[in-house]
Amino acid sequence: MEGYCVKCKGKKEIKTPVEVTMKNGRKAMKGKCPTCGTGMFRILGKA
């Protein structure tokens, strides 16, 4: 799963991705940036 890292300012592969459900019921992927270790977040499509 690919996401955007705000610190590196680029798209990277999410390290250790975990699927989470947000308050509004939509799915998202949460993980860490492989380069800097900052938290990454990607909202998935409606499911």
Tens of pLDDT, residue by residue over 5-40, are 999 999 999 999 999 999 999 999 999 999 999 999
Instruction: Please list the residues that pair with 39 across neighbouring strands.
Output: 32
Give the model's confidence band at 1: pLDDT under 50 very low, under 70 low, under 90 confident, else very high: confident
- Note the pLDDT of residue 47: 58
Distance set, CA 17 to CA 4, 36, 41, 44 (Å): 13, 15, 9, 13
Question: Encoding tokens for residue 6?
Answer: 């705000």
State the CB neighbour count (10 A cutoff) for residue 33: 20
Domain boundaries, the chain: 2-43
